[in-house]
Amino acid sequence: MAKALTISTNYGVEQDELVVPVEELTARGVAVTVAAAAKEPIQTLVGDKDPGKVVDSDASFDEVDPSEFDVLIIPGGTLNADSLRLDDTALSIIKNFTDSGRPVAAICHGPWAVLEAGGVEGKSLTSYASLQTDIANAGGSWTDQPVVIDNTGGYTLITSRNPDDLKDFVGAIGQALDLS
């Protein structure tokens, strides 16, 4: 059985970017663990401002062993991604995946955290449009597409722009996990 790790802060993650991949991958037989900064409920937001669903976390960042998972999923939300990129434990989880060659999937503002972990240099990716300059400054190449899969540089990076791209994003994660 494939295992996915999703990382999120406890406040500010974009609701559908957390909930939809978890629900759809679970329905396809993937064991999904949601790890948060603290093992407490996660308050999601809709459009970075309106309260969304409260989602239970399965573990804190400190409680997970990233080496036990096949893919890392980083949802967006401006507050979530900005906080993740300042969290040393979250960054070490990301580096564990990139250094070991396992796929990382980040949507919307999520690539900010990958960028901070040193994982976008030489990569082609997409994101929320406002990250274009940050990505270019970190040595990545930004493109405006629903999903970008880059298999170069030792690991696969899957990126999407926003919640409208979730079907393509989740499909690309399924492809990386070789789900049929």
Catalytically active residues, by annotation: 109
93 token code pair: 């989880």
CB contact at 8 A, 104 and 74: yes
- The kind and range of the H/E element at 135 are helix 132-137
CA distance 46 to 64: 27
117 token code pair: 């972990």
Largest CA distance in the chain: 38
